[in-house]
Chains A and B, each alone.
Chain A
Amino acid sequence: MTQAATAPTRSTVTSPRQRRRLRRPWWRSRWRSSSDRPFWSALALLVAAFVVLPVLAVVVDGLEATGSVRLPSGLAAMALTTLLLMGGVAVGTLVVGGGLAWLVTVTRFPLRDLFSWMLVLPLAMPAYILGFVFLSTFDEAGPVQGWLRDTVGQGLWLPPVRTLPGAVLVLTMTLFPYVYLMARAAFLEQSPSTYDAARTLGAGRGRALRSVVLPLARPSLAAGLALVMMEVLTDFATVQYFGVETVSVGVYKAWKGSYDFAAASQLSVLVLLFAVAVLTGERLLRGRARYTQRGSRGQGLEPVRLHGVRAAVAVVCCLVALGIGFLLPVVRLAGWAIGEARRSPGELVDPRFSGYLANSLTVAVVVALGCVVVALVLGHAGRMATGPLPHVAAQITTFGYAVPGAVVGIGVLLAFAGLDSLVRGVGVEGGTGLLVTGSVAGILYAYLVRFLAPAYQAIDASLTKVSRTTTLSALSLGAGPRRILWRVHLPLARSGVFVAFVLVLVDAIKELPLVLLLRPFGFSTLAVWVYELASENYWEKAALPALVIVAAAVVPVFLLFRHARLVDPHRPPAAGRGRGPA
């Protein structure tokens, strides 16, 4: 090499500043670069603090109160009921969701491809809707028991349905798709050569499935179960149909029944403990082994074709799950709605309907916009400042989804109470008034905490596809962080922004527990209205708003499917991209 070529390199390396920078350990350099843009790091931290605040409030308040106040009565019974409900739903979703995923992955039968995506549809059926459809069908006054008594005799003993097993059944049939989705993805994404390796080591198909494919799916099953458990912990509406008193119901009753802040926050801590136990359990199930695998070529698992009776049984299994979880309830709701319209053709729609729909939509749109903006800022901050701070902040904000609704609700109330006393301390008479009436602001805050995680994940997934050098080249062209956000990151992440908006919108329309807990007097949404009508056995009146909610909830299920790409890899290879000879 010539002298001229080496000279500049040498001078850069020997510059004392550069040398110090080269020698600086990696963590120092990363912290340093994050402090290059303190504004964005601070913003990310602020968002994290905002999300964590309600949870912290619950923990602090709950622990403080423990010494002074007597524990809420019936605590042990509530805890036991919660455990039983969670255990029952865990077993139920594992059997139904895991079993169906297994069935559609390792076997082939008529309509399998159709079922493999339709089985996600029960996710669109909120438990509080399936719950009342189930009760109206199977309780003492319902058509099934009536028919049985007419045919067998009035003295026939039938199991009561407003019980814990009833609640387990309904929650299982709405929540099993979480396990189904995770399990199916785990089966499909396994590296094919792992299965091939087991076969060449003398394992037959059965043993390879049992000892390799299934164990490798264990962490995914655990993750799916954890999601299910979180939903069970969050619910305190559906279970009340069934007279099941979980800890979350306890929180709701302590607050709405007697405005007993101390009891509510103590019970919330208990709910939080359950949630922590679920997450810990998921970690433990994962163990020391690591399950992620590099993709590789290979044949992998080939589904076997079922024939005759076995194929029929497989079809029936799928149909039963899909029927109970989605098709039959929709048919029944539609029947009621049509019947109601026939009976009173004059007032086709209840006059309250439009008002509640407007409430639902307004809240949902505001929350969706808020979540999208905050999530976008978080994602942007993570790209502008390369240090760990914004990433830690983003991780913290995603915990919100794992915090049960009752905890978020009580936490928001506690945060408002703190704000109130702060304002009063400054000298404003009566404080903000937020706490006394409850307020829509509380609902919005709680929604934001709960739904920021899915929004952030959708937007972050889009942003990670934007090459880091794209951001860097924009910076080198003189664009500031705000201009990059508007001109580079937002346009490039627009599909993620769209998905995030829709996901949050629909989640917010569906959401029931948080509104029940936090709504100001006289404020109601479509979900609350359905719940109230159903609680008073006005099934027919509840049908139309329930159908509207289900219709809205079907949208993200399709989105989910388009993004999850649960396409069977064993289809004939597409042109140009198949498993060619190697």
Chain B
Amino acid sequence: MSRVVLELEGVTKSYGPVVAVRDLELRATAGELITLIGPSGCGKSTLLRVVAGLERPDAGTVRIDEQVVAGPRDWSPPERRRVGMVFQDHALFPHLDVTRNIAFGLDGMPRSRRRERVDEVLGLARLGHLARRYPHELSGGEQQRVALARALAPAPAVVLLDEPFSSLDETLRGQVRADTVALLRTTGTTALLVTHDQTEALSVGDRVVVMNEGRIDQAAGPVEVFEQPATRFVASFMGEAVFLPAHVHDALLTSEIGLVSTVPGWTGTDVDVEVVLRPHEVALAPSPEGSGVVCGLEYHGAFVLHSVRLPSGSLVQSWQPHSVRHPPGTRVAVSVVAGVRPTLLVGDRAMTEPPG
């Protein structure tokens, strides 16, 4: 395993009576790109600000490159942390042109080295032609690139990005995001990226950290977060999901829609659970004997989202190819796509092993 660059242990921070983050544990290894996601107010921006040194944690330890920068006895101010930060509003210095914005963090270097480094970063970020422009003379995407280049110039140990694309309009966002990720990859930078966009979190991150109410619910690879959510919150926040009451008896998972799947290793169990079903895992077949009734259709272009009411009143949703449109009122048989092993919840937590 590669070197740990950033490590948080038991970090807690409150604002008055409001606990913003509670007992956080997080490690980032060199070159890793971690996306942080959660609803607004979940503490993700606080986490960034604690790492950057813009907030002092009430408890816990932050280590950067194995140096304690915040702990019970230690405190480094932001300027001594080797942490770069890209702000949501970019926070470019409006009185400095692009070159001098980028050179700002290279203060300690000899002049010639500084110029070299600025040129190098300008080249990496493909900003050479904008070197003499002022921030207000740049487009939103260009400002974002300058902000990233400025943060990368001093070769920080970690770069923190606080919703860097949220101020850009939709059409621009995809390209700027691709450029940003490419730049972080080519420079081998360890980065923490806060986002509120689920697709962004899943597609960009090597690891996705899902936060809720000041805690980390799950920190894992994007596939795992999406397919094996650790909690009810992660399951519902990271994609559309319905929860159906179900039962596991002797490794067989059954619910209102019949046999769902087998649960290997759960032989000899007999427990009530809830099964998490995502719309792409639900298959529909029109059938006069089907127990479900289509009650809603949403045409999304490539796919059509069908809502189906079950006899108990529960609702399940199913993605169908764009050519398949079962009109409302159609009776359908609902089943789970073959091969899917859905997540099982007991209470709010996912069960990976049989209880007991």
Please say whether chains A and B are actual partners in one complex.
yes
Chain A residues near B (Cβ < 8 Å): 191, 193-194, 196-205, 207-208, 211-212, 215-216, 218, 288-294, 296-299, 572, 578-582
Q: When A and B form their complex, which 5 residue pairs have the shortest distance between CB atoms, in order from nearest?
A: A581-B20, A201-B105, A582-B45, A193-B91, A199-B78
The residues in B between 1 and 38 inclusive whose CB is less than 8 angstroms from any CB of A are 13, 15-16, 18-21
Which residues of A lie under 8 Å from residue B154 when comparing CB positions?
201-202
In the assembled complex, B345 has its CB within 8 A of some CB on chain A? no
Q: Within the complex, what minimum Cβ distance (angstroms) separates A136 from chain B? A: 46
Residue pair B87, A196 in contact (C-beta under 8 Å): yes
Residue pair A288, B54 in contact (C-beta under 8 Å): no
The residues in B between 38 and 73 inclusive whose CB is less than 8 angstroms from any CB of A are 40-41, 43-46, 49, 52-55
Residue pair A200, B84 in contact (C-beta under 8 Å): yes
Most buried by B among A198, A201, A212: A201
In the assembled complex, B120 has its CB within 8 A of some CB on chain A? no
Most buried by A among B19, B83, B91: B91
Determine chain A's interface SS by DSSP, over half rule: loop
Which residues of A lie under 8 Å from residue B248 when comparing CB positions?
none
Stretch among B92-100, B123-131, B182-190, B296-304 lining the A interface = B92-100
Most buried by A among B84, B94, B97: B94
Which residues of A lie under 8 Å from residue B160 when comparing CB positions?
200
In the assembled complex, B85 has its CB within 8 A of some CB on chain A? yes
Which residues of A lie under 8 Å from residue B46 when comparing CB positions?
581-582
Identity of the chain B residue whose Cβ is nearest the Cβ of A290 in the assembled complex = B136
Which residues of A lie under 8 Å from residue B13 when comparing CB positions?
581
Q: Please tell me the number of chain B residues within 8 Å of chain A, measured between CB atoms.
A: 48
Assuming A191-B91, A198-B93, A581-B45, what are 20 further A-B pairs, CB within 8 angstroms? A193-B88, A196-B54, A197-B93, A199-B79, A201-B105, A201-B151, A203-B79, A203-B107, A204-B77, A204-B79, A288-B134, A289-B95, A289-B134, A290-B94, A290-B135, A296-B91, A581-B13, A581-B19, A581-B43, A582-B43
Which residues of A lie under 8 Å from residue B97 when comparing CB positions?
289
> Which of these, A207, A215, A298, A581, contacts B95 with CB under 8 Å?
A215
A208 to B107, CA, bound (A): 12
Residue pair A199, B53 in contact (C-beta under 8 Å): yes
> Which of these, A191, A205, A296, A299, contacts B54 with CB under 8 Å?
A299
- Given A290-B134, A291-B95, A293-B94, the answer on whether A581 and B18 have CB atoms closer than 8 Å is yes
Which residues of A lie under 8 Å from residue B16 when comparing CB positions?
572, 578
Which residues of B lie under 8 Å from residue A198 when comparing CB positions?
93, 104
Which residues of B lie under 8 Å from residue A294 when comparing CB positions?
89
A216 to B95, CA, bound (A): 7
Identity of the chain A residue whose Cβ is nearest the Cβ of B153 in the assembled complex = A201
A291 to B13, CA, bound (A): 34
Residue pair A199, B77 in contact (C-beta under 8 Å): yes
In the assembled complex, B347 has its CB within 8 A of some CB on chain A? no
A201 to B96, CA, bound (A): 14
Q: Report 21 cross-chain contacts, Cβ distance below 8 Å, ordered by A residue.
A: A191-B89, A193-B89, A194-B94, A196-B52, A196-B85, A197-B93, A199-B54, A199-B79, A200-B79, A200-B81, A202-B79, A202-B105, A202-B154, A216-B94, A288-B134, A289-B95, A291-B94, A292-B94, A299-B54, A581-B19, A581-B21
Which residues of A lie under 8 Å from residue B21 when comparing CB positions?
581
Identity of the chain A residue whose Cβ is nearest the Cβ of B85 in the assembled complex = A200
Residue pair A201, B94 in contact (C-beta under 8 Å): no
In the assembled complex, B108 has its CB within 8 A of some CB on chain A? yes
- Given A291-B94, A292-B94, A581-B20, the answer on whether A193 and B87 have CB atoms closer than 8 Å is yes
A235 to B88, CA, bound (A): 48
Residue pair B15, A197 in contact (C-beta under 8 Å): no
A288 to B97, CA, bound (A): 10
Which residues of A lie under 8 Å from residue B79 when comparing CB positions?
199-204, 207-208
Identity of the chain B residue whose Cβ is nearest the Cβ of A197 in the assembled complex = B91
Most buried by B among A200, A201, A296, A581: A200
Which residues of A lie under 8 Å from residue B96 when comparing CB positions?
289
Which residues of B lie under 8 Å from residue A205 when comparing CB positions?
77
Which residues of A lie under 8 Å from residue B53 when comparing CB positions?
199-200
> Which of these, B78, B91, B134, contacts A194 with CB under 8 Å?
B91
> Which of these, B41, B104, B107, B135, contacts A580 with CB under 8 Å?
B41
Which residues of B lie under 8 Å from residue A572 when comparing CB positions?
16
In the assembled complex, B214 has its CB within 8 A of some CB on chain A? yes
Most buried by B among A204, A205, A289: A289
Residue pair A580, B18 in contact (C-beta under 8 Å): yes
Residue pair B49, A299 in contact (C-beta under 8 Å): yes
Residue pair A197, B87 in contact (C-beta under 8 Å): yes
A431 to B87, CA, bound (A): 70
Residue pair B93, A212 in contact (C-beta under 8 Å): yes
